[in-house]
Amino acid sequence: MDGLFLFLFRLLSHQCIVLGGFIILAWSLLFVAKIVFHPLRDIPGPLWARFSRVWYLRTVNKGHFEKRNIALHRAHGANTAFSIILKPVFAAYAYFISVGPIVRIAPGQYSLDDAGAVRIIYSPSSSFIKAPWYSASSNPNPESHDLFTDRDSRRHSANRRKVASLYSMTRLVQMESCVTECTALLMERLTRFCVSGEPFNLQRWMQYYAFDVIGLITVNKRFGFLDNATDQNSLIASLHYYLVYAANVGIYAEWHPIIARIMAFLPASGIKHLQSFTAQQISEGKKNFLKTQKPQSSSESFLQTLIRLNTQNPDKFSLADIFTTCITNIGAGSDTTSISLTAILYNLLKHPNVYQKLHEEIKQADNQGKLSSPAISFRESQSLPYFQACVKEGLRLHPATGLPLSRVVPKGGATLCGRFFPQGEIVGVNAWVIHRNKSIYGMDADFYRPERWIESPERSSEMERNFLARGRQFGAGARTCIGKNISLMEIGKLIPELIRRFDFELVDEGVPLDTQNVWFVKQTNIQCRVRLRGKGKNPSNDRGC
């Protein structure tokens, strides 16, 4: 009997091994066939990107994907000498040579570098929805939807309409005093650096500033970054942790619900900490609102307006809407703005001739009485053409977002860059790539030159159409970040004021810029010193503080 059982066991084991081997073989053949006969099989890219998302994950995890993305497009451009030589010589290799500005970064996922693709994918009427990557930035609760990660276009539009008026420039100008207050406090802190001669990290202080501004605008109080010169409540650290998670887990977004549930049992960090902090701010704000019952004002904080909307019509504007709006501001209101402010200032410091030219424009406008004192208004900053060119050029060379703005090809497919993409494929344009497209921005697109924006109205219009660094840079077209006007107001008020009052210098001009790309490309090593104008090595007749 034992021998019979042993015989049957061996027979079944042998059959299972054969069956397993057959399944593996069949899957392998189907996998290879899918690659060989795929209509986009000739699109080039890293070898392993054909077979797995691991290449994309590893490259993103290293923190410099924007640089690799640019290099891929330049290595696999349709008109490179490499392609022209190899196509007629090696027919087999030519099978995998690109016929357009497209590179593969994962199976079924492509990075594009083309002006026409920008207009098709990101137009306000586009039917390209956000790719699954964005899901990892969201609350895994299927009932929770925010404006950044919601992939349902109709629901997104409906929720956006609820709060759009709060983010209009007309409304935000009424809250300009929030930016003015934080600008004055930053000036005080920089004046202390003038006296001490101590170097400081430029991006860190720009983030302190941006965080306190968004605190005043959202919940009517500074969070204390500028006052204490430290990361308050570990908010910056939590934001960074959240961004690292979102950038990496988003590549395997289907795992996000499972990973999020596991992380829920861990100590509060990342998005969990930000949610807890936001809930606390809302709770305190509601108590103050009910206690004071102030009449409605155009300059009241977001939270005060949101509570008022909920009180008047809780069915139309729910408590969840209050929370979503506040955490969107708090979570997205500092990193992108601080990166943008730092990019503008850093490029000015690296190009003294541009810095001096901008200072002359501000000085002239000041002498003509076109700029207010002690604080330049946002509206006044819009009348400084060279300043606006410096802003655009700084953001062109260093947009805050460093991964492709990925979208799903809609039903019926789409033709992009002269190629037909079947429905379901994922395509996207990286701002770092398109902003260095020489057919759009000129043969000197790799170099900083603000004049390109004011040389020709026709050329400027073409560059604007492909300029993805808009405000807080959370998207383009219908998905442009709703909070972009907050960022634009901070940039417009702060940068001219800094140039008017201070002289900045890099501690070591020879040190290359170091960055870390975790969806946002944050500068990490810009050390500066600052002097009051008219003080120090290069005295002038400029006005001081």
Q: Where are the domains of the chain?
A: 153-401+493-532
Whole-number percent of the chain with pLDDT over 70: 80
- CA-nearest of 333, 227, 216, 330 to 273 is 330
Place of tokens 């109080």: 221
Residues 268, 253 contacting (CB under 8 angstroms):
no
Chain-centroid distance of CA 210 in Å reads 15
Residues 259, 311 contacting (CB under 8 angstroms):
no
**pLDDT of 97:** 38
- Identify the CATH homologous superfamily for domain 153-401+493-532: Cytochrome P450 (1.10.630.10)
Confidence of residue 188 (pLDDT cuts 50, 70, 90): very high
Residues 423, 412 contacting (CB under 8 angstroms):
yes
Mean pLDDT of the chain: 85
Confidence of residue 483 (pLDDT cuts 50, 70, 90): confident
Q: What's the longest Cα–Cα distance across the chain?
A: 107
Tell me if 481 is assigned to a ligand binding site. yes
What's the whole-model pTM score?
Answer: 0.87
What are the E-state strand segments in 3-139?
102-106, 109-112, 129-130
**pLDDT of 96:** 41
Q: 340 pLDDT exceeds 80?
A: yes
The pLDDT tens digits of the residues spanning 210-236 come to 999 999 999 999 999 999 999 999 999
Residues 285, 303 contacting (CB under 8 angstroms):
yes
**pLDDT of 80:** 39
The pLDDT tens digits of the residues spanning 97-155 come to 333 499 999 999 999 999 999 999 998 888 999 999 999 888 766 666 776 776 767 77
SS3 263: helix
**pLDDT of 25:** 57
Q: How far apart are CA 93 and CA 46, in angstroms?
A: 14
Q: Where are the alpha helices (DSSP H) in 428-534?
A: 431-434, 438-441, 457-465, 484-501
Over residues 372-377, the mean pLDDT reads 92
The pLDDT tens digits of the residues spanning 415-468 come to 999 999 999 999 999 999 999 999 999 999 999 999 999 999 999 999 999 999
**pLDDT of 379:** 95
C-alpha distance from residue 533 to each of 96, 288, 304, 363, 536 (Å): 58, 42, 40, 12, 8
SS3 512: coil
**pLDDT of 166:** 82
Over residues 177-185, the mean pLDDT reads 96
Least confident span in 141-155, 181-195, 457-471, 489-503: 141-155
